[in-house]
Amino acid sequence: MRVAVTGATGVIGRHAIGAMLERGDQVVVLTRDPDSARDKLGGRVEAQAWADPKHTLPPSDALDQADAILHLLGEPIAQRWTDDAKREIRDSRVLSTRSLVEAIAALPEDRRPRALVSQSATGYYGPRGDEPVDESDPAGKDFLAGVTVEWEREAGKATAAGVRVATTRTGVVLSAQGGALEKMLPPFKLGVGGPVAGGKQYVPWVHLDDVVGAMLRCLDDDAATGPINLTAPNPVTNAELSKTLGRVLHRPAVLPVPGLALKALYGEMATIVLTGQRAVPARLGELGYEYRHPRLEDALRDVLSGS
């Protein structure tokens, strides 16, 4: 299979590309800096320049006759949300996806990819309580939910060009090399970690191996269409996550983190930690996906085994 990938040098992108190369796929990455991308990916991929994803179309020969596209491009969410940052978070996702879909539609029909797997997020559901939410539930009303609705809408337009579209609503990815867990580790290793703002909010966690495994399943399986939650089948509360992480690290995890302190540090962005979603992967269950790490403690032990 020939797969075009955006966002290739991020944590998910690097691991997904490694898995695709291991199974024999050809990979072409679309990137602002092809030389840097080839270097970071060990020179194992074809790299083509896409200098301005928000305002220009990607090169057509990168997409021409690709079997599928894995679209992971987007400005990091974990930053203080100034007006400029919020604009970039939104535009880097919505406008780049619009450009990508326009480029797909411009190809001759017999040279278009058959599938587009476009990254999304459980932020689609907005702040929720403890009720389980799956792909049939409506969108939330907050900033991230609004961004995600637009993001998925742009990806969905590729169906008009005869392309199968799956939007992967990814939860909190467990990886020691980036994301939320990497930021949590220093205080927990020092024995000063603990639940945030009471810890009752749910965390839709998922091991990086299962993010990649599920994305590859979505690339391959013609039944993978529409929104698909990429979360573990057993979501936990923030308090449960903290307790389990402390146990795995052999450190106490009882010092609470006040919500006001988090708001003072991160501003509006703190809402994604202070609230959560009990997102469950109904569609992956229907597709018969078999998790490598369905239980939190085993997942954490695997992630931290080399740290």
- Calculate Rg over the CA atoms of the chain: 19
- Inter-axis angle of helices 296-304 and 238-249, nearest 10: 50
Length of the chain: 307
pLDDT tens digits for 21-52? 999 999 999 999 999 999 999 989 999 999 99
DSSP structure string for 244-295: HHHHHHTS-----B-HHHHHHHHGGGGHHHHSB-EE--HHHHHHT---S--S
Q: Which residues lie below 8 Å from residue 217, measured CB to CB, with a gap of 6+?
A: 224, 284, 287, 289
Pick from 5-9, 40-44, 93-97, 99-103: least confident: 40-44
Position 203 scores a pLDDT of 96
Quote the distance between the C-alpha of residue 59 and its chain's center. Answer: 24
- Say what the pTM is: 0.96
Pick from 15-19, 155-159, 214-218, 250-254: least confident: 250-254
- Greatest Cα pair distance, the chain, in angstroms, is 60
Position 307 scores a pLDDT of 59
Q: Which of 22-36, 171-185, 267-281 has the highest mean pLDDT?
A: 22-36
Place of tokens 């007006």: 83
Taking residues 202-224, what's their average pLDDT? 98
The percent of residues above 70 in pLDDT, for the chain, comes to: 99
Position 176 scores a pLDDT of 83
Is pLDDT of 63 > 70? Answer: yes
Q: Which band of pLDDT confidence, cut at 50, 70 and 90, is reported for residue 290?
A: very high
Q: Which residues lie below 8 Å from residue 11, measured CB to CB, with a gap of 6+?
A: 173, 175, 177, 178, 179, 208
Taking residues 9-16, what's their average pLDDT? 96
Position 124 scores a pLDDT of 98
CA–CA separation, 142 vs 90, rounded Å?
A: 13
Position 177 scores a pLDDT of 84
Pick the residue with more confidence: 87 or 78? 87
Q: Which residues lie below 8 Å from residue 49, measured CB to CB, with a gap of 6+?
A: 30, 31, 32, 33, 34, 59
Position 127 scores a pLDDT of 94
Position 306 scores a pLDDT of 67
Taken in order of first residue, the domains within the chain and their CATH numbers are 2-171+207-231 (3.40.50.720)
Is pLDDT of 181 > 90? Answer: no
CA–CA separation, 133 vs 282, rounded Å?
A: 9
Q: In this structure, how many other beta carbons lie within 10 angstroms of the beta carbon of residue 75?
A: 15
Pick the residue with more confidence: 112 or 269? 112
CA–CA separation, 219 vs 225, rounded Å?
A: 10
Strands (E), 130-269: 132-133, 164-170, 172-174, 202-203, 205-207, 226-230, 236-237
Is pLDDT of 66 > 70? Answer: yes
Is pLDDT of 118 > 90? Answer: yes
